[in-house]
């Protein structure tokens, strides 16, 4: 049978297969994330700015580009989570800038010419460009763009780089130009607003008088807390009336509140016993290691820290667990395993020596490029070592140390401070740093060279500053030092233990699938419940939870009352319940009923107290008589400043201060509704501010206080007006 005939006979089957494949393809398109469907399109919007949806793919492309630039400029293959978060936020802010701020700039005709941009990118590099061309952690300019002498940004190197860029580098440079252009436009915009700010003479005078006019007052207050909240009747109509009249008080940002229980992933006793047995084997093998090289290799291989300590320790500087033993034992003694701060350790005494308690030294420093001596040094490490050896040989032949210090030392400490006179001693003079001991603030190699040698020795040692030629001028005392190597390991929960803990968390989650069941189980099982209150979608941290991005995303992906499956965060499994969901805008009355009730109760108390006080004032015209009538203490205070909102020695009461600021001297006020109670105030004296000849000083001071606010308040106001909504967390950012 031919191939063609076989195909004809199976054509029905082929049609069915093709049909199923097409159906699968269509359904995949309908239901996969980001595809359109019969039921509406899946959301691939990462946010909304001024009514415009921001596409996730376009946003991710910009983030990826920014990450690539930072990796290449920093010579890195990957970025830290903190660096990535910073880039994501920068890109998002840039998109807000594009959608909101650019319209403002266009209206005002603010722009950057090509000539100005060239100046900002090459001749006088803008700080934003310098930051992009520098390592984000160390702040050092990348070698490609740094002056070899100063380490600072080099316009000449930037120019040379731009003249030999690859196509890829040109694309990246164009992106940097765009960032700098936008940054400079923002600066121009803000400066324009700053220059447009003006404080009138009248405003400056009013501010000055408010700050410098002081009043002495007597007052009474009937606190709200003197009447129990439960005695005040509040109806639904009362709540609705207050809610309708005070909408601004209930504005809120979108947030989520969740409660959770944590199951700590800690090692079982079996895990601890296993770890101790393994460390005992390490200790037994450690005892058999003889040569120093074997010990060091063994420590690096076996210890989780991968660290071999070369330090010689004095008595009292080792761990209390081993300090006494190591100073009484023979070289080769192994101690452990012993536990310290949750870590199992094994320590071995490798060597001991005697050194001076203190020594007097002087030195000559020969630095090299890359050392911490001075950025201007260009000699190589090899050249520095050769020079140090040459100086040492000359000194041993009778050369004058002080002369060599002045001629060759790269130590800036040799220079005489401006506060000293010729002939006076100062630390570093002639390379002399006086007496040092084990606790002195010098680098370890420097200290050890002085303490371990003897009077008259001249040696060369290396530190992070370069090569030191050190002469020991004198030494005192003697003390024992020991070198100890420590292998350590942290006992971790085994996979078996983790599975057991996960099973416990899963059982709790599976049985308690509603908020009511969750809360009851917490009480019944006496579990420690924790609360993460009012989490914003942009939050990157939750106290007590390691890297909680996915938990924030879960909170925004689910409805109120949802109970999660166990989620692993660091060293714990978490089971959470979403207890509150708040959306941006005015909170629904049901959501703020408790807060609303408290406000209405206080309002009713204020009305009740005001009536009571007003009635009493008819028969008690003075503040003292009123206090006696109402059985309230009459308080007196001085130096009430009209520019604050606080009564000295009392709580913040802006309504009271406002009333006092316009009240005539020797008069008594009507009842004033305050935050803590209802007040009546008598103004005894008012010390008016001394008049000024002119108010240029206060004007200038107010201008200076206003201008820095422009940089963030204008942007935030425009951002708020644009109704910016972000969903970065939903996409793993």
Q: For 347-405, what is each residue's pLDDT tens digit? A: 888 888 888 888 888 898 988 888 877 777 888 889 889 998 988 888 888 888 888 88
Grade residue 227 by pLDDT with cuts at 50, 70 and 90. very high
Q: How far is the C-alpha of 12 from the C-alpha of 511, rounded, in Å?
A: 51
Alpha helix positions (H), 572-653: 593-617, 623-630
Grade residue 43 by pLDDT with cuts at 50, 70 and 90. low
Q: How far is the C-alpha of 64 from the C-alpha of 55, rounded, in Å?
A: 14
Is the pLDDT assigned to residue 36 strictly greater than 70?
no
Q: How far is the C-alpha of 363 from the C-alpha of 401, rounded, in Å?
A: 8
Give the three-state DSSP class for 276.
Answer: helix
Give the pLDDT confidence score for residue 525 in this predicted structure: 93
Burial class (CB in 10 A: 0-12, 13-18, 19+), 104: middle
Mean pLDDT in residue range 277-300: 80
Q: Looking at per-residue confidence, does 117 or 430 come out higher? A: 117
Give the pLDDT confidence score for residue 171 in this predicted structure: 85
Give the pLDDT confidence score for residue 717 in this predicted structure: 85
Angle subtended at Cα 84 by Cα 532 and Cα 183, rounded to the nearest 5 degrees: 110
Mean pLDDT in residue range 213-232: 94
Q: Annotate 105-153 with DSSP letters as a single string.
A: HHHHT----HHHHHIIIIIS--HHHHHHTB-TTT-PBPGGGB-TTT-SB
Q: Would you identify the CATH topology of the domain 358-476?
A: Chitinase A; domain 3 (3.10.50)
The DSSP output letter for 588 is: P
User: Are 326 and 318 a contacting pair, CB within 8 Å?
Assistant: yes
Q: For 75-85, what is each residue's pLDDT tens digit? A: 777 888 778 88
Q: How far is the C-alpha of 709 from the C-alpha of 633, rounded, in Å?
A: 43
Q: Per-domain residue ranges for the chain?
A: 3-41, 43-109+197-212+689-733, 214-230+593-687, 255-266+493-583, 269-355, 358-476
Nearby residues of 593 by Cβ (< 8 Å), 6 or more positions away: 239
Q: Do domains 214-230+593-687 and 358-476 have the same CATH topology?
A: yes
Q: How far is the C-alpha of 367 from the C-alpha of 388, rounded, in Å?
A: 9
Give the pLDDT confidence score for residue 288 in this predicted structure: 82
Give the pLDDT confidence score for residue 342 in this predicted structure: 79
Grade residue 117 by pLDDT with cuts at 50, 70 and 90. very high
Q: How far is the C-alpha of 357 from the C-alpha of 314, rounded, in Å?
A: 10
Q: For 622-651, what is each residue's pLDDT tens digit? A: 999 999 999 999 999 988 888 888 887 667
Buried b (16+ CB within 10 A) or exposed e, 452-478: bbeeebbebbbbebbbbbbbbbebeee
Q: Looking at per-residue confidence, does 166 or 150 come out higher? A: 166
Give the three-state DSSP class for 533.
Answer: strand
Q: How far is the C-alpha of 94 from the C-alpha of 289, rounded, in Å?
A: 60
Supply 185's token pair: 């436009």
Beta sheet of 334-340, edge-to-edge order: 312-313, 479-490, 343-355, 334-340
The reported pTM is 0.62
The DSSP output letter for 468 is: E
- Any idea how long the chain is? 733
Mean pLDDT in residue range 287-307: 75
Mean pLDDT in residue range 128-151: 82
CATH architecture observed for domain 255-266+493-583: Roll (3.10)
Q: Would you identify the CATH topology of the domain 214-230+593-687?
A: Chitinase A; domain 3 (3.10.50)
Grade residue 532 by pLDDT with cuts at 50, 70 and 90. very high
Q: How far is the C-alpha of 303 from the C-alpha of 589, rounded, in Å?
A: 60
CA dihedral over 716, 719, 723, 728, signed as positive or negative = negative
Give the pLDDT confidence score for residue 10 in this predicted structure: 37
**What is the DSSP pairing of strand 572-582 with strand 585-586?**
unpaired
């Amino acid at each position: 049978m031919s191939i063609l005939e076989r195909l004809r006979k199976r054509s029905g089957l082929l049609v069915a297969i093709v049909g199923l494949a097409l159906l699968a393809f269509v359904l995949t398109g309908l239901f996969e994330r980001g595809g359109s469907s019969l039921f509406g399109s899946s959301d691939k919007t990462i946010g909304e700015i001024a009514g415009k949806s921001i596409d996730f793919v376009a946003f991710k492309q910009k983030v990826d580009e920014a990450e690539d630039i930072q990796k290449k400029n920093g010579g890195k293959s990957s970025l830290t989570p903190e660096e990535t978060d910073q880039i994501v936020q920068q890109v998002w802010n840039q998109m807000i800038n594009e959608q909101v701020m650019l319209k403002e700039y266009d209206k005002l005709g603010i722009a950057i010419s090509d000539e100005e941009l060239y100046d900002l990118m090459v001749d006088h590099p803008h700080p934003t460009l310098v930051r992009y061309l520098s390592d984000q952690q160390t702040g050092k300019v990348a070698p490609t763009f740094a002056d070899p002498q100063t380490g600072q940004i080099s316009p000449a190197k930037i120019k040379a780089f731009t003249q030999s860029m690859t196509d890829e580098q040109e694309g990246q440079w164009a992106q940097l130009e765009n960032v700098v252009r936008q940054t400079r436009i923002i600066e121009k915009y803000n400066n324009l607003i700053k220059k447009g700010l003006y404080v009138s003479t009248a405003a400056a005078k009013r501010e000055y008088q408010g700050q410098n006019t002081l009043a002495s007052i007597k007052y009474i207050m009937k606190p709200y807390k003197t009447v129990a909240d439960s005695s005040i009747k509040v109806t639904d109509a009362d709540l609705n009336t207050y809610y309708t009249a005070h909408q601004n008080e209930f504005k809120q940002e979108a947030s989520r509140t969740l409660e959770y229980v944590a199951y700590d992933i800690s090692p079982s006793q079996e895990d601890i016993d296993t770890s101790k047995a393994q460390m005992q084997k390490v200790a037994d093998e450690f005892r058999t290691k003889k040569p120093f090289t074997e010990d060091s290799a063994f420590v690096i291989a076996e210890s989780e820290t991968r660290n071999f300590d070369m330090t010689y320790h004095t008595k009292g500087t080792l761990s209390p667990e081993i300090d006494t033993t190591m100073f009484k034992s023979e070289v080769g003694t192994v101690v452990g395993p012993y536990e310290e701060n949750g870590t199992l350790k094994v320590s071995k005494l490798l060597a001991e020596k005697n050194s001076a308690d203190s020594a007097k030294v002087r030195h000559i420093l020969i630095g090299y490029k890359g050392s911490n001596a001075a950025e201007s040094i260009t000699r190589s490490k090899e050249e520095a070592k050769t020079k140090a050896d040459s100086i040492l040989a000359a000194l041993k032949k009778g050369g004058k140390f002080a002369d060599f210090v002045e001629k060759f030392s790269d130590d800036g400490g040799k220079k005489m401070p401006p506060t000293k006179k010729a002939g006076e001693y100062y630390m570093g003079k002639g390379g002399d740093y006086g007496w040092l001991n084990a606790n002195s603030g010098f680098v370890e190699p420097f200290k050890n060279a002085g303490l371990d040698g003897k009077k008259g020795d001249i040696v060369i040692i290396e530190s992070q500053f370069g090569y030191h030629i050190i002469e020991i001028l004198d030494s005192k005392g003697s003390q024992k030092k020991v070198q100890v190597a420590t292998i350590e390991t942290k006992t971790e929960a085994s996979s078996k233990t983790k599975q057991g803990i996960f099973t416990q968390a899963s059982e709790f989650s599976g049985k308690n699938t509603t908020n009511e069941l969750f809360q009851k189980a917490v009480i019944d099982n006496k579990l420690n419940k924790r609360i993460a209150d009012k989490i914003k979608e942009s939050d990157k941290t939750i106290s007590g939870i390691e890297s909680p991005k996915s938990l924030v995303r879960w909170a925004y992906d689910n409805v109120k009352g949802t109970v999660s499956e166990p989620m692993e965060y660091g060293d714990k499994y978490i089971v959470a319940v979403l207890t509150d969901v708040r959306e941006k805008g005015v909170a629904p009355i049901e959501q703020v009923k408790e807060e609303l009730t408290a406000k209405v109760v206080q309002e009713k108390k204020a009305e009740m107290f005001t009536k009571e006080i007003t009635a009493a004032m008819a028969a008690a015209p003075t503040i003292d008589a009123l206090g006696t009538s109402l059985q309230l203490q009459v308080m007196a205070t001085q130096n009430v400043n009209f520019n604050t909102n606080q009564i000295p020695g009392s709580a913040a009461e802006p309504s009271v201060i406002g009333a006092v600021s316009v009240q005539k001297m020797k008069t008594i006020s009507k009842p004033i509704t305050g935050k803590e109670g209802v007040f009546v105030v008598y103004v005894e004296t008012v010390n008016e501010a001394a008049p000024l000849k002119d108010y240029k000083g206060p004007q200038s001071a107010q201008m200076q206080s206003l201008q820095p606010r422009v940089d963030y308040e204008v942007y935030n106001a425009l951002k708020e007006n644009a109704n910016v909504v972000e969903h970065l967390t939903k996409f793993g950012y």
